C-alpha cells in the first residue's frame, strides 16, 4: 500500500454497485447488435464508455463526490465472467481462446458466455437470493491462471481521465472459487477452493496495476461468506485468512474494501476482522448488527454500513437506519454509509415513471434515490441536524403508505383466514396418474415445450402499437390469434404431443399477470439485468392481491379449439411472481404468496371449465428466494410449497398439473420440488449436461419429470445426436415411464429459424430413443 493511498480515507457515502445496462438498455442493444454483426467492436466500446462515464457523472452529481465513492461495477456481460477473464481461467474444452499476447479479447469473452457450435457455454445459475444469473467458472487441477485482461484497470483510468476517481470492483478470490464447479477433467472429489494459492498471484498483479494507475481503493466482493456452504466453515475461514494475508501483503496495492452483501457474515467475521484489510462492508439491512465485542475486534478498519436496501425499491426508513448507525458508531472506529447490496438489482430512477401515481412514486427508491438516501445518512453521521428534514419526510411517507387504500383489503384477508388443510391437498398421485392416463392417452417419452415461442419483431410492434392506440383491441386480438394459429400448426407439423399456444399476447411471464391482478403496478423504464443482455421489468406488488376476471382463459380456449391434442394452460406460480416483482415489505412473504395463490386457484378453476386438461404453473424462481442460511430455509420452503399447493389443489384428478424450474442447484431444493406435488416437473438440464438426473435418482423422484435437452439461453442448435445422448443418459437414471422431453425453458428470446430446427431435432431424437426402449421391452 502506497503512502499516498494510505492517506485517502474511505468515502463517507458510497454504493456497492450500480445498474450497468444503461438507462434505456443501451448496453443490451449494443451487445446484441455486436453479436448480430451490425455493430463493430469500436462502436460497442463507445457505448460502454458512455454508460460508464454517464454513471460516474450522475452519481457525482447526486452527492457521491468523494474519491472512490463511485463503484466501478460496469460489465459487458457478468461480473463473475469478468473475474474469469482477468484470471485467464479458460476451460480447456474451449481450446485456445487467449490471443498471442495472452489476453482474452471480446470475442473470446463472449464465446465463454454463449458457447460455440461444438461447445456449450459456461453453466448459468442464480446469484445468491436474487434474480440475477452468473456464469459458473470451471476449475480443475489442469486450469492455468494468468492476468488475461486489464479491463478493470482501463475502466478506472477512463473515469480518472474524466476527473472522477472510481473504486474498481472484482469478485473476491474466496467467493470466486466457492462459486466455481469442477471442470470436465477434475475428479469428483476435487474442490476448486484447493486452487486458492494459484489464483492469488494474479489478484496481486491486478492490485499492483490498479495502484500504479492511481486507485486508492479497490472493492473485493465476498458474498459467498454470508452463505452456509457445503465446504466446512473452518476451511472457508482458513481460505479467507490465507487470501487476505497474501493480498494485504502486496508491496504496492490500493486499500482494500471487502464487501459482504446479502446477509450477515456470521462466523466468517472473525477471519476478516483478524486480517489487514482496510475496510469491511457489513449488510446491516438484512443482517443483524454485530455485537459490540465483534465490532471492537475490527481494530482500525473502516466499517461500511449497508443500511440502505440495494435489493428492493421501497423508500428507506431513515429514522430506523439512523438508529442503526448510532449503534455502530457507539462501538467506536471509522464509519461510512452504503447500500446493503449492489443497486444493480433495481432500476435507475423512479422520477422517470410519470405514469405511476404521485403517491406510489413517493413510496419508492430506485438506484438514484438510494444514492440520495445514502448521502443523507452520511450527512446524519456528520451532523444529525442536517438530515432532520429528510428523516422526517421519510417517516411521513412510510406512514402514508401504511394507511393507503388497497394496501389492506378485508375481503382478501377473510378468505385467507378461512383456509383449511384440505385447500392445500390433492388426491394421491396414483389416483391422479390413472385418471390423467385415461384422459390424455400420451405415448412413452411425451414431448412438449415450456410455454413461450419466439416473440418476433412483428409481435412486439403490434403490442406497442396497441398500447399507443395505433392498433385497436380487436385488431390486436386478431393478430395474436393468427400467431397462435401459426404456433399450434408448427407444433403439430413437428409432431409434439402436448402443445402450447406460444404466449404471443404476453410481454413478460410476471408482468402480464401483474397487469391483470389488483395490488400491482408496472413500470415503463424499470428494467433490471437478469443475465447478459437479458433484462426484465419487475412489477411493483404494493397491496393485497386479488383477481377480478379471468386472465388467460380466452387465449387457451382458442388455442385448444385448433387441435385435438392437449393444450397447456400457462400460468406463473406465486413464488415466481413474488421473486420477479418488487414485493411489499410490510407483511410476511408467505401471506402475500397465498394471496397470489388464491388468485391463481380461481384461474385454474376457469381453465378447467373451459376444457383445458393440462395446466402448467411455472415456478422457475423456487430456488431463488431460498434463504442463504440453513436455519431460515425450512420456514421459506413451507410457505413457498404451500402457496403452490394452494393454487393447484383445486384441480381435478384428471387435470394434469405441470411446473417448471430453471437455472438452479436443484439438489438443494429437491425435497421442496417433490413437495409441490405437481404431476410433471420440467427442469433445466442441457447446459449442465443432465447433472440433475443424479439428484432425481438418489431422491427417488416418483412423478413425471422432463429434464431439458435444449439450452435455449444460447444460440446453439442442438443436433439430433446431442439430444439423443442427453435422453439416453436420462433414461439410465430415471424410469422411462416418468420421463418427458422438453427444452430447458421458454423460447421467447430465440428466433424462429433456430427454434424450428432445434425442436425438429428434439423430436427426431425422442423418436429414436422411444423406438429403442419399445424394442428392448418386447
Do 615 and 657 touch, CB atoms closer than 8 A? yes
Element (H, E) at 519: strand 518-521
The catalytic residue among 345, 348, 713, 733 is 713
Taking the CB of residue 194, how many other CB atoms lie within 10 A of it?
A: 14
Residue 774 and residue 409: Cα distance in Å, rounded? Answer: 56
Residue owning grid cell 415450456:
450
> Which has the closest alpha carbon to 568: 636, 496, 653, 625?
496
Question: Would you call 84 exposed, middle or buried from its count of C-beta atoms within 10 A (0-12, 13-18, 19+)?
Answer: buried
Element (H, E) at 673: helix 670-675
Alpha-helical (H) ranges within 471-581 are 473-494, 511-514, 553-560, 574-579
Angle between helical axes of 553-560 and 473-494 (0-180°, round to 10): 40
Looking only at the bridges linking them, the beta strands covering 217-221 and 255-259 are parallel
Phi-psi region of 542 (alpha: psi -120 to 50; beta: other; left: phi over 0): alpha
Residue 52 and residue 526: Cα distance in Å, rounded? Answer: 19
The grid coordinates of residue 23 equal 438507462
Rounded to the nearest 5 percent, the helix, strand and coil shares of the chain are 45, 15, 40
713 is catalytic: yes
DSSP sequence for 93-153: GG---S-TTS---HHHHHHHHH--SSSPPPPEEE-TTSS-EEEPPEE-TT--------HHH
First-to-last CA distance in the chain? 74
- 270: three-class secondary structure by DSSP: helix
To the nearest 10°, the Cα dihedral for 262, 266, 270, 273? 30
Residue 65 and residue 371: Cα distance in Å, rounded? Answer: 11
Q: What angle do CA 467, 529, 163 make, to 5 degrees?
A: 110
The grid coordinates of residue 753 equal 429459424
Q: Residues 6 or more apart from 721 whose CB is under 8 A from it?
A: 765
Residue 627 and residue 228: Cα distance in Å, rounded? Answer: 10
Q: Hey, which residues are catalytic here? A: 713
Amino acid at each position: 500500500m502506497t503512502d499516498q493511498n494510505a492517506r485517502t480515507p474511505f468515502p463517507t457515502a458510497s454504493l456497492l454497485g450500480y445498474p450497468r445496462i444503461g438507462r434505456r438498455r443501451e448496453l443490451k442493444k449494443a451487445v446484441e447488435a455486436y453479436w448480430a454483426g451490425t455493430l463493430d467492436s469500436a462502436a460497442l466500446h463507445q457505448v460502454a464508455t458512455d454508460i460508464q462515464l454517464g454513471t460516474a457523472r450522475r452519481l457525482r452529481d447526486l452527492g457521491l463526490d468523494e474519491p472512490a465513492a463511485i463503484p466501478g461495477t460496469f460489465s459487458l456481460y457478468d461480473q463473475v465472467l469478468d473475474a474469469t477473464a482477468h484470471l485467464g481461467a479458460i476451460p480447456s474444452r474451449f481450446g485456445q481462446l487467449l490471443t498471442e499476447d495472452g489476453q482474452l479479447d471480446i470475442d473470446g469473452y463472449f464465446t465463454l458466455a454463449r458457447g460455440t457450435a461444438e461447445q456449450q457455454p459456461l453453466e448459468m445459475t442464480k446469484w445468491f437470493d436474487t434474480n440475477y444469473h452468473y456464469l459458473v467458472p470451471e476449475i480443475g487441477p489442469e486450469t492455468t491462471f494468468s492476468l488475461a485482461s486489464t479491463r478493470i484497470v482501463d475502466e478506472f483510468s477512463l473515469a480518472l481521465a474524466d476527473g472522477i476517481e472510481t473504486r474498481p470492483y472484482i469478485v473476491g478470490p474466496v467467493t470466486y472459487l466457492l462459486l466455481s464447479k469442477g471442470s470436465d477433467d477434475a475428479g469428483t472429489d476435487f474442490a476448486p477452493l484447493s486452487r486458492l494459492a494459484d489464483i492469488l498471484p494474479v489478484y496481486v498483479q491486478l492490485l499492483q496495476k490498479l495502484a500504479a494507475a492511481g486507485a486508492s481503493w479497490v472493492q473485493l466482493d465476498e458474498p459467498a461468506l454470508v452463505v452456509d456452504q457445503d465446504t466446512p466453515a473452518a476451511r472457508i475461514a482458513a481460505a479467507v485468512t490465507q487470501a487476505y494475508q497474501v493480498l494485504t501483503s502486496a508491496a504496492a496495492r490500493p486499500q482494500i474494501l471487502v464487501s459482504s452483501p446479502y446477509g450477515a457474515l456470521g462466523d466468517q467475521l472473525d477471519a476478516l476482522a483478524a486480517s489487514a484489510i482496510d475496510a469491511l462492508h457489513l449488510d446491516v439491512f438484512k443482517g443483524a448488527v454485530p455485537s459490540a465485542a465483534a465490532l471492537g475486534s475490527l481494530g482500525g478498519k473502516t466499517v461500511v454500513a449497508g443500511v440502505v436496501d440495494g435489493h428492493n425499491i421501497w423508500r428507506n426508513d431513515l429514522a430506523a437506519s439512523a438508529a442503526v448507525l448510532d449503534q455502530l458508531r457507539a462501538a467506536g472506529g471509522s464509519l461510512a454509509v452504503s447500500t446493503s447490496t449492489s443497486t444493480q438489482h433495481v432500476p435507475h430512477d423512479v422520477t422517470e415513471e410519470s405514469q405511476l401515481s404521485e403517491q406510489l412514486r413517493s413510496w419508492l427508491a430506485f438506484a438514484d434515490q438510494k444514492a440520495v438516501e445514502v448521502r443523507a445518512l452520511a450527512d446524519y453521521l456528520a451532523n444529525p441536524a442536517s438530515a432532520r428534514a429528510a428523516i422526517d419526510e421519510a417517516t411521513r411517507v412510510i406512514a402514508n403508505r401504511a394507511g393507503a387504500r388497497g394496501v389492506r383489503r378485508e375481503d382478501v384477508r377473510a378468505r385467507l383466514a378461512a383456509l383449511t388443510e384440505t385447500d392445500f391437498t390433492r388426491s394421491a398421485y396414483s389416483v391422479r396418474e390413472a385418471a390423467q392416463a385415461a384422459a390424455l392417452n400420451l405415448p412413452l417419452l411425451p414431448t412438449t415445450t415450456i410455454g413461450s415461442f419466439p416473440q418476433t419483431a412483428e409481435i412486439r410492434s403490434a403490442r406497442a402499437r396497441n398500447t399507443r392506440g395505433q392498433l385497436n383491441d380487436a385488431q390486436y386480438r386478431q393478430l395474436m390469434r393468427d400467431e397462435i394459429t401459426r404456433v399450434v400448426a408448427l407444433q403439430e407439423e413437428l409432431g409434439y404431443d402436448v402443445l402450447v399456444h406460444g404466449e404471443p399476447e404476453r410481454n413478460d411471464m410476471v408482468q402480464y399477470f401483474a397487469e391483470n391482478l389488483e395490488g400491482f403496478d408496472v413500470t415503463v423504464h424499470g428494467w433490471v439485468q437478469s443475465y447478459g443482455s437479458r433484462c426484465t421489468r419487475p412489477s411493483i406488488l404494493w397491496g393485497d392481491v386479488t383477481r377480478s376476471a379471468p386472465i388467460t382463459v380466452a387465449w387457451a380456449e382458442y388455442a385448444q379449439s385448433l387441435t385435438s391434442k392437449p393444450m397447456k394452460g400457462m400460468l406463473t406460480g406465486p413464488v415466481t411472481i413474488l421473486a420477479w416483482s418488487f414485493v411489499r415489505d410490510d407483511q410476511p412473504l408467505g401471506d402475500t404468496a397465498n394471496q397470489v395463490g388464491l388468485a391463481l386457484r380461481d384461474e385454474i378453476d376457469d381453465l378447467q371449465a373451459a376444457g383445458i386438461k393440462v395446466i402448467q404453473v411455472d415456478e422457475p424462481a423456487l430456488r431463488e428466494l431460498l434463504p442463504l442460511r440453513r436455519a431460515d430455509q425450512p420456514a421459506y420452503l413451507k410457505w413457498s410449497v404451500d402457496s403452490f399447493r394452494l393454487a393447484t389443489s383445486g384441480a381435478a384428478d384428471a387435470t394434469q398439473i405441470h411446473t417448471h424450474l430453471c437455472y438452479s442447484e436443484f439438489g438443494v431444493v429437491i425435497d421442496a420440488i417433490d413437495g409441490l406435488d405437481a404431476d410433471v416437473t420440467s427442469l433445466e438440464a442441457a447446459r449442465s449436461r443432465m447433472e440433475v438426473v443424479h439428484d432425481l435418482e438418489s431422491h427417488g423422484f416418483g412423478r413425471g419429470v422432463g429434464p431439458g435437452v435444449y439450452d435455449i439461453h444460447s444460440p446453439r442448435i442442438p443436433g439430433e445426436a446431442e439430444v439423443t445422448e442427453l435422453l439416453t443418459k436420462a433414461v439410465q437414471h430415471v424410469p422411462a415411464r416418468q420421463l418427458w422431453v422438453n427444452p430447458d425453458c421458454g423460447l421467447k428470446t430465440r428466433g424462429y429459424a433456430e427454434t424450428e430446427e432445434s425442436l425438429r431435432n428434439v423430436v427426431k431424437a425422442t423418436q429414436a430413443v422411444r423406438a429403442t426402449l419399445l424394442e428392448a421391452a418386447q
